[in-house]
A and B are shown apart, each in its own frame.
Chain A
Amino acid sequence: ILNVEQSPQSLHVQEGDSTNFTCSFPSSNFYALHWYRWETAKSPEALFVMTLNGDEKKKGRISATLNTKEGYSYLYIKGSQPEDSATYLCASSGSEKLVFGKGTKLTVNP
């Protein structure tokens, strides 16, 4: 059974700060690592899907890295804005199903 852990559980930053979160997952039987952004009262929205060790992906001010050998991924947000406030979920798969972490709740104060 996969166990996906995310830290921190929550984070408060000021507008303009850069921040990062961690997702750790079992490195055995790894297939893919997903990052989702989940705004309150909306549905989770895919940010990145990464499959290869050393993968780095970027979308605007948000980027992610993947280390499959040690079983972790980092999500970075540069120059946080209030609209970045959301819960960021990571999910790992070792088979057909995704196993989600409990998320990191980010609040960006103006």
Chain B
Amino acid sequence: DSGVTQTPKHLITATGQRVTLRCSPRSGDLSVYWYQQSLDQGLQFLIQYYNGEERAKGNILERFSAQQFPDLHSELNLSSLELGDSALYFCASSPWTSGGRRGNEQFFGPGTRLTVL
């Protein structure tokens, strides 16, 4: 158990809908990262927040947005959902801001499996 929690575990919805995925980082971790794992794709970095502020952006679609709240939990909002958005969405946390510098290890949550029908 990494200490990172994600809800819900599974989500089934229809095209055009909007969903919110939630992540609580490990106690004391200030950085939260969101990743998408689609079929035949590696883990794709979406976005990172550090202590409430956006820190780095990856291949995140305009239909997706995220935020980190004062209690450090984070939400990933996915709107106007398409079939291709079906994927496993992971959240990870780390103590510092730098995702890779100085060997900043990331701790992954169990993921949310999103199915868009």
Q: How many residues of B contact A (CB 8 A)?
A: 30
Q: How many residues of A contact B (CB 8 A)?
A: 27
Cβ of B77 within 8 Å of any chain A Cβ, yes or no, is no
Contacts of A103 in B (CB 8 A): 42
From the candidates B35, B55, B103, name the one contacting A32 in the complex (CB within 8 A): B103
Of the candidate stretches A12-20, A69-77, A78-86, A92-100, the one touching chain B is A92-100
Cβ of B43 within 8 Å of any chain A Cβ, yes or no, is yes
Per-residue contact bits, chain B 96-117, to A (CB 8 Å; 1 contact, 0 not): 0111111111111111000000
Contacts of B35 in A (CB 8 A): 100
Give min CB distance, B97 to chain A, whole Å.
Answer: 7
Contacts of A95 in B (CB 8 A): 56, 99-100
Q: Which of A45, A46, A95 has most B Cβ within 10 Å?
A: A46
Selected A-B contacts with CB under 8 Å, 6 pairs: A43-B2, A49-B104, A49-B105, A89-B42, A91-B43, A95-B99
Across the A-B interface, give the 9 residue pairs with the lowest CB-CB distance, nearest first: A93-B100, A96-B56, A49-B103, A43-B108, A100-B43, A32-B100, A102-B42, A97-B45, A100-B42
